[in-house]
Amino acid sequence: MTLVDREVRSLYSSGSYVGAVPDLQLARSNMLELKDVTKAYESGGNLINALDQVNIHIYEGEFVVVLGPSGSGKTTLLNVMGCLDTVTRGQVVVGGQDVTNASRGALSEIRRKTVSFVFQSFNLFPALTARENVQFGMDVAGRKTRESAAELLTKVGLEGRMDQFPHQLSGGEQQRVAVARALATGNPVLLADEPTGELDFRTGVRILQLLGEQVGPGRVVIVVTHNREIARMADRVIELSSGKIVRDGPPQDGRVDVNTLFW
Ligand code: ADP
Ligand code: MG
C-alpha cells in the first residue's frame, strides 16, 4: 500500500464514511500517462525503437522504479515523461495535460512548473557553485520552498562543500548536488536517472530515502536504475527490455524499508 493509499484509507475509516472503500486507483489522480508510445531513433541507417508501444499510467503517491539493463530505453522513457523529448507515435499526458503535440514553449513551461530531473550525467552549471546550482532550481520553478539551498545541501551530506564549483567536486558529490537541485524546485513529478550510480552504498541509501520522502498526495517519484536491489523499496516496478515493458507491478517479494537494502 502506498502512502496515499494509507491516507485515503484512513480518511474513509475515520468514522464518518459508511460503506465500501472505493477503488483507490480511481480516487487518485493520474500524474503521467503514456499510451502506445513508440520512440524511434535512426542509427547508422537503421531505425531502433528505444521505446516500443509502451503503455504506462502513474498515479499520485507512487514511488516507481524503472528497471532494465543498459540500452533498454530507461533514459528515453524518462526524457519522454519529463518533456525533454517528443515521441514518434502515441500519446503523452503529464500532470493531466496532453503534451504530445505541445509547442516548445508549452513543453518548457511544463518542465519548469511540473517536472524536476536528476540527470544521469548531473548537468550541473560549471560556472555556478553547488549552492548556486541548487538556488537555480528554486528560481526556475519560482515556488517558495520550505528549505533553503544550504539546508538541502546539508540533507544530501554536502554541508562542507557548498561553495565549491562542480569541477572541484567528485562524481558522487556532483550527483548529490543534482539531487538537491531537483528537490529545490518542489515540482510534483520527480524523475531521477540512476541517482545513486556514483554513490557508495551508504550514501546511496540516504539519497534513496530522501527521494522516497518526496512522494505524497499530488506527487510522484520515478527512479531509473539497473540495480535490482533498489526496486525492492518501490511501490511499483516497471521493467524494460529492448524498449518494451516486460513487467509492471509491486516488487516480487513485497515492498521493504529503504534501510534494509544492501548492495
Ligand atoms: P538506457 O537508459 O536503458 O541505457 P537509452 O534510453 O539511453 O537506454 O537507449 C535506448 C536505445 O536507444 C539504445 O539502443 C540507444 O543506443 C538508443 N538511443 C538512445 N538515444 C539515442 C539517440 N539520441 N540517437 C540514436 N539512438 C539513441
Ligand atoms: Mg540511461
pLDDT at 27: 65
Q: Is the pLDDT of residue 7 over 60?
A: no
What is d(CA 164, CA 83) in angstroms, rounded to the nearest whole number? 30
Please give the helix or strand (H or E) that residue 152 lies within, else none: helix 149-155
- Is 240 in contact with 252 (CB distance < 8 Å)? no
Ligand 1 lined by 79 (C-beta under 6 Å): no
Q: Judging by DSSP bridges, how do beta strands 115-118 and 189-193 pair with one another?
A: parallel
This prediction's pTM? 0.89
Give the tens place of pLDDT for each residue, 221-232. 999 999 999 999
Give per-residue burial for 24-60: e unless 16+ CB within 10 Å, then b. beeebeebbbbbebebbeeeeeeebbbbbebebebbb
Residues within 5 A (CB) of ion ligand 2: 74-75
Ligand 1 lined by 88 (C-beta under 6 Å): no
Please give the helix or strand (H or E) that residue 210 lies within, else none: helix 201-212
Arithmetic mean of pLDDT, 88-96: 95
Q: Which atom of ligand 1 is nearest to the CA of 68?
A: 3
Task: Write out the DSSP string of 45-103.
Answer: TEEEEEEEEEEEEEETT-EEEEE--TTSSHHHHHHHHTTSS--SEEEEEETTEE-TT--
What is d(CA 99, CA 113) in angstroms, rounded to the nearest whole number? 14
Residue indicated by cell numbers 520550505: 146
Closest residue to atom 5 of ligand 1, CA basis:
73
pLDDT at 16: 40
Ligand 1 lined by 39 (C-beta under 6 Å): no
CA 8–ligand 1 middle distance (angstroms): 39
